[in-house]
Chain A
Amino acid sequence: MRYGYNGPMATLASENDLPQNLWQWFKGSWMDRVILLISLVAIVCSWQWIHSFVSSGPPMVMIYHDDQLLARYPIPEEGKPIHFHAEGEIGDSEILIDANGARFVSSPCSSGYCIAHGQRKEHGDIIACVPNRILIVIEGNSADALDAIVE
Chain B
Amino acid sequence: MSNIISAPRPSLLELEEKAKWLTLLLLAVGLHIFEAALPSLGPWFKPGLANIMTLLALVLIGPRAALMLAIWRVIVGSFLIGTLFTPTFVISLAGGIASAAVMLLAWRTIPGITLIGISLIGALAHMSVQFITVESLFIHQHALYYLLPPLLLLSVITGWINGGLAAYIISRIEESD
Interface residues, chain A, with chain B CB atoms under 8 Å away:
1-5, 7, 10-11, 25-26, 28-32, 35-36, 39-40, 43-44, 46-47, 50, 54, 62, 64, 66-67, 110-111, 113, 116-117, 124-128, 130-131, 133-135, 137, 139, 146-147, 150-151
Contact yes or no, B117 A28, CB < 8 A: yes
A31-B117, A36-B156, A43-B153 given; A4·B164 CB < 8 A: yes
Min CB–CB distance A31 → chain B (angstroms): 4
Residues of B within 8 A of A26 (CB): 116, 160-161, 164
Bound CA span A111–B86, Å: 10
B165: chain A residues within 8 A (beta carbon): 25
Q: Which of A1, A110, A127 contacts B59 (CB 8 A)?
A: A1
- The 8 A CB mask of B83-120 against A (1 = contact, 0 = none) is 10011100100000000000000000011111111001
B39 to chain A, nearest CB (A): 8
| Any A CB within 8 A of the CB of B163 | yes
Q: Which residue of B lies closest to A136 (CB)?
A: B143
Given contacts A2-B113, A4-B115, A32-B163, 13 further A-B contacts (CB under 8 A): A31-B111, A35-B117, A47-B149, A50-B146, A64-B143, A66-B139, A113-B43, A117-B40, A125-B146, A128-B134, A130-B138, A130-B139, A134-B139
Assembled-state Cα–Cα distance A131/B156 (Å): 27
Q: A67 CA to B175 CA in the complex, in Å?
A: 55
Chain A residue, CB-CB nearest to B149: A47
Contact of A128 with B144 at beta-carbon distance under 8 Å, contacts A4-B116, A36-B120, A47-B149 already known = yes
Chain B residue contacts of A111, Cβ below 8 A: 83, 88
The answer to whether A40 and B156 touch across the interface, beta carbons within 8 angstroms, is yes
Q: Which residue of B lies closest to A67 (CB)?
A: B140
| Chain A residues with CB below 8 A from B167, complex form | 3-5, 25
Known contacts A28-B117, A35-B120, A128-B43: A150-B156 contact under CB 8 Å: no
Binding site for A on B (CB under 8 A): 40, 42-43, 59, 83, 86-88, 91, 110-117, 120-121, 124, 134, 138-150, 152-153, 156, 160-161, 163-168, 170-171, 174-175
Chain A residues with CB under 8 Å of B144's CB are 126, 128, 135
Residues from chain A with a CB closer than 8 A to the CB of B139 are 64, 66, 128, 130, 133-135
